[in-house]
Chains A and B, each alone.
Chain A
Amino acid sequence: MMLLASSLPVQPTLAENLQYQLTGLLVVLFTLGALALLVALLGRVISAFESRSTPALSPVVAVAPTAPEAISGPVFAAIAAAVSTALGDHRFVIRGVQAVDPRENLAWSAEGRRSIYASHQVR
């Protein structure tokens, strides 16, 4: 029996209820699944469009990780001060400083980290 045509009875049987809920699950999965496909498609179209309109980048020269000794004293002091502020009273030793490769997009991770540190006491 097609329950949707007549709506579910006020006191449905278990079988009727199960059929009704599975239909509901299908509705949600279909709706959100369709949205997922459309959003993925939209993302591809936009990135293809943007890559066509953006001029090609010049080749990137590989840069070796920066050794701590290559960092100037004032910059190193600023990094140490930032770490100290973030960690509060905790003792720490900076064993190395490495530049983040700008080609890896870590902005979202950094944002998450920033929010966590901003709202919680570091343990």
Chain B
Amino acid sequence: MLLDILHDFAAFFQLTAFSAVTWQMVVMWGVCGVLFYLGIRRKFEPLLLVPIAFGALLANLPTEGLITHRVLADGLVESGVLSVHGTALDTGGFRIDHITGGLYDFISQGIKLEIFPPLIFLGVGALTDFGPLIANPRTLLLGAAAQIGVLATFIGAGLLGFTSQQSAAIGIIGGADGPTAIFLTSKLAPELLGAVAVAAYTYMALVPLIQPPIMRALTTQKERKIRMRSLRPVSRLEKLLFALLVTVTVILLVPAASPLIGMLMLGNFLRECGVTERLLKASQNEIINVVTILLGTSVGITMAGENFLRAQTLLIIALGMVAFALGTAGGVLAAKALNLFSSRNPINPLIGSAGVSAVPMAARVSQVEGQKADPANFLLMHAMGPNVAGVIGTAVIAGYYIATLTK
């Protein structure tokens, strides 16, 4: 009797997943631990890093019914593989009988089909006040100049042997815009999605550490003390027309950016029109929260050890830092350049760094640095202009890459 129980108990162990654990999984548990630490203890973008880390943990456990992995010829692992079963029809068509897959094989289609990032943009638009940008449209140019980090890093990644598509995905980290980085990477270089997303969100959280030394190095004490003119109030009509103007102009110029810009401005239009309170609240809360959970875990679940534990992951993280630093420098230098043409109404160069997006943290950094030079100077609302311009600028450059690099 006792022997039978022990025998059954031993037989049960053959059904467990211990034997399927690989060394890559164990190492990735450590990586997940670091991400949990950064998200929970250090509060680095916890709303994204925590779901990403949990998704990564799930990706590195021998799960069943959760996610399907397929090993590719080059040793990489493709996650979220749906199997479609059907019958070929005599007419030449195909009838789908059923689709099989685990939970995240279905959920991660939100990234593969490029649904989640635009939905996040809907929420971002609903939460963003474009008033400071409308009141001082010059700051749009700062948002454009900060994209220099993206462009320069693309070149650097190319020199290090990455393909053009991969270089675009790495460069876009410098845009400091998570949804755009995920959108572009899933389209051009899905094999880098985990590394790019982790680098993007980690650096966004590190904005208060990365940017100040660069801002101080590129500005004089006198420049940091510049007080900017108070922004004029912007009417609701102007905000509504701005949303329409951006939608039409950007989509006509860069159609590939349509999903991002279209949803961003839809969210903002809902906010400003004043008659869609319920839709606005859903965009600002339920939709963006639900999608954030699904997006974060779907990104994490691409971080199978076989994909993540490669030398190129470290390279991507290093290049992401370069992109961020160059973007910051580009914004500050562009503000100084603009001052050459507008000495009567100068711009404090500290707000240029906010052009890298990372809303609203980068604007807060401008405010804090400005107050270190002059405690009575308030740059926050001025910095929100380039900050939201950076969101538009990153979407535009992403659209340019997608339009020209999609295979």
Using a CB–CB cutoff of 8 Å, the interface residues on chain A facing chain B are 3-4, 7-12, 14, 17-18, 20-22, 24-25, 27-40, 42-43, 46, 50, 104-109, 111-113, 115-116
A43: contacting residue among B134, B140, B254, B381, CB under 8 A = B134
Q: Complex Cα distance A116/B368, Å?
A: 10
Give the contacts of B133-168 with A (CB-CB under 8 A).
133-135, 137-138, 140-141, 143-145, 147-148, 151-152, 154-155, 158-159, 163-165
Question: With A28-B393, A109-B230 in contact, is A33–B381 under 8 Å at CB?
Answer: no
Residues of B within 8 A of A29 (CB): 141, 144-145
Residues of B within 8 A of A (CB): 132-135, 137-138, 140-141, 143-145, 147-148, 151-152, 154-155, 158-159, 163-165, 230-235, 237-238, 241-242, 245-246, 249-250, 253-254, 367, 378-381, 389, 392-393, 396-397, 400-401, 404-405
A3 neighbours in B (Cβ, 8 Å): 404
Contacts of B396 in A (CB 8 A): 27-28, 31-32
Contact, CB under 8 Å: B405 / A7? yes
17 chain-A/chain-B pairs, Cβ below 8 angstroms = A7-B405, A8-B404, A9-B164, A12-B158, A14-B159, A25-B147, A27-B397, A32-B141, A33-B140, A40-B137, A43-B135, A104-B230, A108-B233, A111-B381, A112-B381, A113-B378, A116-B380
On whether the beta carbons of B148 and A25 are closer than 8 Å, the reply is: yes
* Contact status of A34 and B253, CB under 8 A, knowing A24-B397, A108-B231: yes
Chain B contacts for A111, CB-based, 8 A: 381
Docked Cα-Cα span, A18 to B249, in Å, equals 26
Determine if B163 and A10 form an interchain contact, defined as CB atoms under 8 angstroms apart: yes
Are the C-beta atoms of B404 and A112 separated by less than 8 Å?
no
Q: Is the Cβ of A24 less than 8 Å from the Cβ of B400?
A: yes
Asked whether, in the complex, the Cβ of B392 is within 8 Å of the Cβ of A112, the reply is no
When chains A and B are docked, how far (Å) is the Cα of A88 from the Cα of B242? 41
Cross-chain contact A43 with B238 (CB below 8 angstroms):
yes
If over half of B's interface residues share one DSSP class (helix, strand or loop), that class is named, otherwise mixed; here it is: helix
CB closest chain-A residue, reference B159? A14
Checking B144, B151, B230 against A21 with a beta-carbon cut-off of 8 angstroms, the contacting residue is B151
Could you say which residues of chain B place their CB within 8 Å of the CB of A32?
140-141, 143-144, 389, 392-393, 396
CA distance A37 to B396 in the complex (A): 17
Residues A39 and B254 in contact, CB atoms below 8 Å apart = no
The answer to whether A50 touches B404, judged by C-beta atoms less than 8 angstroms apart, is no
- Additional 17 contacts, C-beta under 8 A, given A4-B404, A39-B245: A11-B163, A17-B154, A17-B158, A21-B151, A21-B152, A27-B397, A27-B400, A28-B144, A32-B392, A32-B396, A35-B250, A36-B140, A39-B242, A42-B238, A42-B245, A43-B137, A109-B378
Contacts of A28 in B (CB 8 A): 144, 147, 393, 396-397, 400
| Interchain residue pairs A-B with the least CB separation, the first 10 | A112-B380, A32-B144, A39-B137, A21-B151, A36-B140, A36-B137, A112-B378, A32-B140, A108-B231, A28-B144
A4 to B165, CA, bound (A): 14
A106 near B230 with CB under 8 A, answer: yes
Q: How far is the CA of A40 from the CA of B186 in the complex (A)?
A: 36
**How many angstroms between the C-alpha atoms of A73 and B381 in the bound complex?**
35
Residue from the list B155, B231, B235 in contact with A46, Cβ < 8 A: B235
Task: List chain A residues, Cβ under 8 A from B154.
Answer: 17, 21
Q: In whole angstroms, what is the CA distance A20 to B232 when docked?
A: 39
User: Which of A9, A11, A36 is close to B141, meaning CB atoms less than 8 Å apart?
Assistant: A36
Q: Is the CB of B233 within 8 A of A116?
A: no
**Which residue of A is nearest B238, CB measured?**
A46
**Which of chain A's residues have a CB closer than 8 A to the CB of B233?**
105, 107-108
Cα A101 to Cα B131 in complex, Å, equals 23
Task: Identify B241's interface contact among A42, A105, A113, CB under 8 A.
Answer: A42
Could you tell me the distance between the alpha carbons of A50 and B165 in the complex, rounded to whole angstroms?
49
